[in-house]
Amino acid sequence: MAVEVFVALGSNLGDPTKNMQTAIEQLRQLFEGKMRCSSCWRSAPQDMAPQAADFLNAVVAGFTNLTAYGLLKQLQQIEVAMGREQTHGYHDSRIIDLDIITFGDLVSTNKQLIIPHPRAHLRQFVLLPLIELASEMIFPGKNETLQRLLQSAPAMDINIVT
């Protein structure tokens, strides 16, 4: 049975617009039926070197028959195929970053795959595009609306691009 998933995308190296488009096309292959995509948002890098370029961010939604681990593996393969380094650090700039935000109502604290994403509820660059696609969502594990989470998320420099 297909499960609705939300995947966040981010890019700040090379041509972020092209990187996002390429990743979105690759993601379409992982979903059953229609995939929905938020607008792109430009945000200042968080907890990174001062010279790091701004990020483009978006969220896609769709239904998949993959398991959560199967989806994670596919996302990692897309990242590597697009040129992301295997030894990529947490605070490094990136060609593409793909994160599972939610996987149905699954809550997993497994070290290999934490769902929902452990910091998504604190990031406007995830919450704003997510609200575009699922404004009424109650965030799994938080039992709060996205709007409520957005109100308590730390302020940041972010604006809609498309």
The CA distances from residue 23 to 49, 81, 141, in Å, are 25, 10, 28
Rounded Cα distance, 104 and 116, in Å:
9
Would you list the DSSP string of 54-89? PEEEEEEEEEE-S-HHHHHHHHHHHHHHTT--TT--
Q: Is 31 helix (H, G, I), strand (E, B) or coil?
A: coil
Catalytic positions = 84, 94, 97, 99
Rounded Cα distance, 145 and 130, in Å:
11
Q: Name 108's bridge partners.
A: 115
